[in-house]
Amino acid sequence: MNIITYPGSPFPLGATWDGKGVNFALYARHAEKVELCLFSTTEDDVETARIKMTERTHEVWHTYIPELEPGQLYGFRVHGPYEPENGHRFNHHKLLIDPYAKAIAGTINWHESLFGYQFGNEDEDLSFSEMDSAPYIPKAVVIDPNFDWEGDVSPKYPYYQSVIYEAHVKGFTQLHPDIPDEIRGTYAGIGHPATIQYLKDLGITAIELLPVHHFITDWYLQDKGLTNYWGYNTIGFFAPDVRYSSSGVLGQQVTEFKNMVKALHKAGIEVILDVVYNHTGEGNEKGPTLSFKGVDNASYYRLVEDDKRYYMDYTGTGNTLNANLPSVLRLIMDSLRYWILEMHVDGFRFDLASALARELHGVDKLSSFFDIIHQDPVISQVKLIAEPWDVGEGGYQVGNFPPGWTEWNGMYRDCMRDFWRGEESMLAEFANRFTGSSDLYYDDYRRPTASINFITAHDGFTLHDLVSYNEKHNEANGEDSKDGDDHNRSWNCGAEGPTDDQWIIDLRNRQKRNFLATLFLSQGVPMLVAGDEMSRTQGGNNNAYCQDNEISWINWQHADKSLMEFSKKLIHFRQNHPVFRRRRWFKGSEIEGLGVEDIAWFLPTGHSMSMEHWDQDHAKSLAIYLNGRGVHTRGPKGEILIDDSFYVIFNAYHDSLEFTLPAEKYGSQWEVAIDTFRDQVEPEQPAIYNAGDSFLVEGRSVLVLKNHVHATEPEANE
């Protein structure tokens, strides 16, 4: 095959079609020779052309081939020293996926040729394999970047207006009865009108998708008939995973993803991606050579200083990308900008974000990773959400990320779970978490919206299972239930798993409503896991990462319609009342002109709580007054925001308690707005109480009372 080549350009990295041909550029600092391999079809075992890339600029190898078109399949072979003890694992017998591939045509067909060393050799990974991996590895694809966005604009909701819905592309749509069979489990399924209407009706402002960067399923999982369902095993940071494409593998997956985003944006729904820049799917020294390891191992991974054969593992996956190196920082930033500018996504949730912040062995919130993002005019303007921990020493960093970042608040999750299962814990922490976790974020000049509040996430029990199981039941994972967290802070309400006992069923349903009400009444940004609003169960499996089946998929036919309706009303209730989604911290002091605080805390007797009450770990009940004239912020047109006032009663005690309303200055008349015991949100004929009235609040329930603010009342100063 006679191929004409031009020198080309070192940038942009990857394969770039300009309408006349394709420029290929690969960063490989320590390489001695790089070959570009072209393939005609996805079934080809051998390349149709192998082109030596003779141009090298600033450690980037590059060439330009005129007349090549989108859909072209390619890979690289990189030559250099095979010296694992020095951090080098070059092996030109291994076809490599372009780290900047915009699309990848297929998935890995596991075979020992994918490994740089010889299986069974006594020298293990120090040995050298000469088996060709080309027949078994998917090829990168040259894409056509052109797309008609039709004036697409991001909804750009501020955090205080946001309600995040964590979902899996396949799991959400695979069993949806109103989505055509041929697009279930795909990007097109997420962009389908049935999906979008459901999200809008529920009140969701942003869908946070579990990883869609092209990932691999580990060989050991495949051998057990399992898969890497969640996708936290990235091998292509620019490529939307081909498994979620209904339209094709030669770049069509890119177009389908863009169509999904465009449809969601038209409906006013943001798209947030769960991204995994802390490691790759290549594992440790015993792992395969698929891309980065063969392109330039020492330029991508954190290696043990005194023996570079081995990898630093802060992620529990075998390797950690070295975000301190310029080549890796550039890769991450280029990837983020690509998904923002070319794919129009609205933000990112960073898996094990602490691993990205590590300088040497510590975690430094002022590391180069954060510095670069902070000054980047594109990345700094989207939603940035950290999972603020990793598995290394000192990796738990909740509250320590810099301004501009929000965080999954693991302390919120743990506190609320303990509160509602009746664990002895201080009311002071409950109060802190309910009001936005000022102990974590206030001193850094951050706002309550720095806290992403959640009760459950993809990792762990679903909401239904949280109130139905004391122990994990992960037998289906094939690891004798040794995987998954042992400390779930769950309570089965009196029976393990399914039961016919109506008293237990009623209690579980009430507990679900209690958790949801607490989540959506708390200050901060609520995150709901897809299916929790309809009582989705995983049968007690708290680590369903490998279950691409009915264990993980949402069963729409068995949806709990009552809980769905409660959840929908609850979310809209939050959206209609700015007092529950404040942009600024409570002050706890009297508001000028009113003589009443913006927030006040009460005992069941109606008397204010004193310091000694906060330290009682046996206390399970309290009431919170929220002043509708103490929001302290203005609306989008500069108007002073005034809301109704609320009296929120939490009774986590097992029995009913008598509560008395406080003095009239806090409100003369109150009506029931939410009652989790009676499954009510803004009932048509609410019960009415007056200041000083006493009434019973049922055990393990939330009761929210509303006091209407009248226009004739004096306005509070900001």
Render pLDDT for 22-39 as a digit per residue (tens, 0 to 9): 999 999 999 999 999 999
Confidence (pLDDT) at 396 = 87
- Classify 625 as helix, strand or coil: strand
Write down the CATH number for the domain with range 588-707. 2.60.40.1180
Confidence (pLDDT) at 637 = 84
Confidence (pLDDT) at 40 = 97
Is the pLDDT higher at 232 or at 371? 232
Burial degree of 502 (CB within 10 A; 0-12, 13-18, 19+): exposed
Instruction: State the average pLDDT over residues 152-157.
Output: 97
Cα–Cα distance for residue pair 237/232, rounded to 1 Å = 12
Residue 589: pLDDT over 90: no
Confidence (pLDDT) at 718 = 43
Confidence (pLDDT) at 716 = 45
Is 164-578 in CATH node 3.40.50.300?
Answer: no
Residue 330: pLDDT over 50: yes
Confidence (pLDDT) at 365 = 61
Residue-wise pLDDT tens digits, 488-499:
999 999 999 999
Residue 640: pLDDT over 90: no
Instruction: State the average pLDDT over residues 684-705.
Output: 98
According to DSSP, the β-strands at 621-626 and 599-602 are antiparallel
Neighbours of 210 (CB within 10 A): 22
> Do 421 and 491 meet the contact criterion of CB atoms below 8 Å apart?
yes
Confidence (pLDDT) at 185 = 98
- Report how far apart the first and last C-alpha atoms of the chain are (Å, whole number): 75
Instruction: State the average pLDDT over residues 437-455.
Output: 93
**Which sign does the torsion angle of CA 583, 587, 588, 590 carry?**
negative
Torsion of CA 366, 291, 214, 27, to 10 degrees: 60
When pLDDT is cut at 50, 70 and 90, the band that residue 390 belongs to is confident
Share of the chain above pLDDT 90, in %: 87
Confidence (pLDDT) at 712 = 42
Residue-wise pLDDT tens digits, 377-389:
999 999 999 999 8
Domains 164-578 and 588-707 share a fold: no
Instruction: State the average pLDDT over residues 153-176.
Output: 98
> Do 14 and 142 meet the contact criterion of CB atoms below 8 Å apart?
no
Radius of gyration of the chain measured on its C-alpha atoms? 28
Tokens of 41: 């079809």
| 194-208, 331-345, 555-569, 604-618, range with the lowest pLDDT | 604-618
Confidence (pLDDT) at 510 = 98
Q: Which of 351, 533, 598, 643 is catalytic?
A: 351
| Run of H or E including 690 | strand 688-690
| Run of H or E including 208 | strand 206-209
Confidence (pLDDT) at 714 = 42
Residue from 67, 72, 73 nearest 21 by CA: 67
When pLDDT is cut at 50, 70 and 90, the band that residue 624 belongs to is very high
Cα–Cα distance for residue pair 176/203, rounded to 1 Å = 19
Domain boundaries, the chain: 14-142, 164-578, 588-707
Residue-wise pLDDT tens digits, 241-255:
999 999 999 999 999
Is the pLDDT higher at 585 or at 713? 585
Residue-wise pLDDT tens digits, 505-553:
999 999 999 999 999 999 999 999 999 999 999 999 999 999 999 999 9
| Run of H or E including 326 | helix 326-341
When pLDDT is cut at 50, 70 and 90, the band that residue 635 belongs to is confident
Residue-wise pLDDT tens digits, 369-378:
888 999 999 9
pTM of the predicted model over 0.95:
yes
| 57-71, 201-215, 335-349, 414-428, range with the lowest pLDDT | 414-428
Cα–Cα distance for residue pair 385/449, rounded to 1 Å = 11
Confidence (pLDDT) at 713 = 44
CATH topology assigned to domain 14-142: Immunoglobulin-like (2.60.40)
Instruction: State the average pLDDT over residues 337-345.
Output: 98
- Classify 213 as helix, strand or coil: strand
Confidence (pLDDT) at 600 = 95
- On the CB side of 436, CA atoms within 13 Å amount to 25
| 286-300, 315-329, 349-363, 422-436, range with the lowest pLDDT | 349-363
Confidence (pLDDT) at 593 = 56
Residue 480 known to be catalytic: no
DSSP designation for 394 = T
Neighbours of 51 (CB within 10 A): 18
Sheet-wide strand order for 60-66? 14-17, 21-27, 60-66, 55-57
Instruction: State the average pLDDT over residues 461-472.
Output: 98
Q: Which of 387, 560, 597, 598 is catalytic?
A: 387
Confidence (pLDDT) at 595 = 63
Residue 360: pLDDT over 70: no
> Do 212 and 253 meet the contact criterion of CB atoms below 8 Å apart?
no
Residue 351 known to be catalytic: yes
Instruction: State the average pLDDT over residues 263-291.
Output: 98
Cα–Cα distance for residue pair 541/488, rounded to 1 Å = 11
When pLDDT is cut at 50, 70 and 90, the band that residue 717 belongs to is very low
- Classify 473 as helix, strand or coil: coil
Per the prediction, the chain carries an average pLDDT of 95
Confidence (pLDDT) at 711 = 45
Residue-wise pLDDT tens digits, 602-617:
999 999 998 888 877 6
Burial degree of 190 (CB within 10 A; 0-12, 13-18, 19+): buried
Confidence (pLDDT) at 592 = 56
Cα–Cα distance for residue pair 671/505, rounded to 1 Å = 28
Residue 272: pLDDT over 70: yes
Tell me the β-bridge partners of 164: 206, 527
What region, left, alpha or beta, does residue 276 occupy, with left being phi > 0 and alpha being psi -120 to 50 degrees?
Answer: beta
